[in-house]
Structure 1
C-alpha cells in the first residue's frame, strides 16, 4: 500500500499509524503496541489497520523503519557539530543525557533491538557515530589517542548506563553532567 496523506480525507496514512505507534513505543514500550488500542486511539476500526498492515509484526517493522530514518536524520544533524569548539560539542552531546524522555526511549529501543536487527543496526551506528564525535573532540582538546578513546568510551557508556539505571540510582542532573564533562576534559595528570 502507498501512504496517502490523512489531511482532509478522513483516512489514515501509514505515516499516521507509524507515528502514533512510535509515540506509544517511546512512552510505554513495545508492549503498548496493540492493534485494538491503536484503533481506539486513532478512532478507526481494525479494518483500517488491516488495510495498511498484514499484522502487528508488519506495523512493528514499519515503526522500526520510521525510527531508523528519524535516528539517521538526527545523526546527520550531529555531524554539523564538528564546526563548534570541541568542549562545546561534548557539552551539547552530554546535555541530552539528562532528559527523562531520552532515557525511556533508550531503554525501550535497546530492548527492542534484541529482536529486531534493523533497530540493533541503527543503535550500533548511532553509538559508533557518537563515540567518534566524542573521540575526535577529546583529541582536539589535546588528549593522547589512548586517553581520548578512554574518555569517549566512558562518556558513551555513561549515557547508556544513565538510561538503564535512572529508575534505581540517584537522579543525574545537568550539574552532574557538567561535572563529568569537566572531569573528563581535564588534561591527564591534573586535578
Structure 2
C-alpha cells in the first residue's frame, strides 16, 4: 500500500516493520532501530508496532534471525552444494560474494558494528563465525585436504571476505569477477577449469550485463 493511501486503522505487517528496521540498521546502526522513528518513517502510529512485536528487543531479535537466515544459511548451503572439484566448490561459494540475496554485505557490516557494543550479539557472532568456518573446512576435507590445510585455507577465505566487508572495498562487480579465478587458485592451490569459469559467468550473466564497469 503506497504512502498517503493507508486506510484508517492499518497497522502494517511484521515484514513491513522488519524491513524498516533493516533499513535503519544498515544506514545508521542499531541505535537508529527505535520504535518511534520507525513509526514516523512508515506513517504509522507507535502503538501499531505492538500488534506485531512485543517490544524493541523482539524486533532486534528478528533482525538477528534475518541476518542468520540470509548470510549464514546461504553461505553454508553454497559450501554444501554439489561440486565435482574443489575449484567448482569455491565458485559455488563465490556466488555469495556477488549476490546480496545470498549474502548481504551491508547487513554483515552493520551486525559486526552492533556486536562491538552488545555482548549478546558478540557471543552470537563467535558461534556464527565458528559455524561458517566449519562449513568452509568441510569443503576442503571433502576433497582430501589434510585438517591443518583445510583449516588454514578456510580461515584465509573467510578472513579475506570479512576484510572486504570491514574495509568497504570499492570494487566493481566486473573487477571482482575478473579476480575470482586467481582467488580460487590462491585459496585451493588449483586453477579452475575453463568450463567451470564459464559456468560461473553464465549464471551471473544478467548481473554482469548490468554492471557499468
TM-score > 0.5 by shorter chain:
yes
Q: How does 1:22-41 map to 2 (within 5 A)?
A: 22-41=22-41
Answer whether contact 2:83 2:89 (CA < 8 A) is retained: yes
2:186 match:
183
- Deviation beyond 6 Å, 4+ runs, structure 1: none
2:77 match:
77
Query: Which structure has more RCO (C-alpha within 8 Å, separation ≥ 6)?
Result: 1
**Is 2:148 the counterpart of 1:149?**
no
TM-score in terms of structure 1 length: 0.70
- In the alignment, structure 1 segments of 5+ residues that lack a partner are 1-8
Taking the aligned partners of 1:79 and 1:148, their CA distance within structure 2 comes to 13
Answer whether contact 2:21 2:33 (CA < 8 A) is retained: yes
Deviation at 1:42?
1.8
Answer whether contact 2:75 2:96 (CA < 8 A) is retained: no
Structure 1 residues 165 and 25: CA distance shift in structure 2, 3 A:
same
Report the number of matched residues: 176
SS in 1 for 2:104: helix
1:39-97 C-alpha deviation (Å, 9 max, x unpaired): 1232211232355556544532443344445556436634641x323322222223423
- In the alignment, structure 2 segments of 5+ residues that lack a partner are 1-8, 191-213
TM-score in terms of structure 2 length: 0.64
1:107-164 C-alpha deviation (Å, 9 max, x unpaired): 1111112344553344334322332232222234443322222111111110111101
Structure 1 residues 120 and 59: CA distance shift in structure 2, 3 A:
same
Answer whether contact 2:11 2:49 (CA < 8 A) is retained: no
2:12 match:
12
Structure 1 residues 129 and 177: CA distance shift in structure 2, 3 A:
farther
2:116 match:
114
Taking the aligned partners of 2:48 and 2:18, their CA distance within structure 1 comes to 13
Give RMSD over aligned pairs. 3.2
Structure 1 residues 62 and 143: CA distance shift in structure 2, 3 A:
closer
Answer whether contact 1:113 1:119 (CA < 8 A) is retained: yes
Taking the aligned partners of 1:129 and 1:89, their CA distance within structure 2 comes to 18
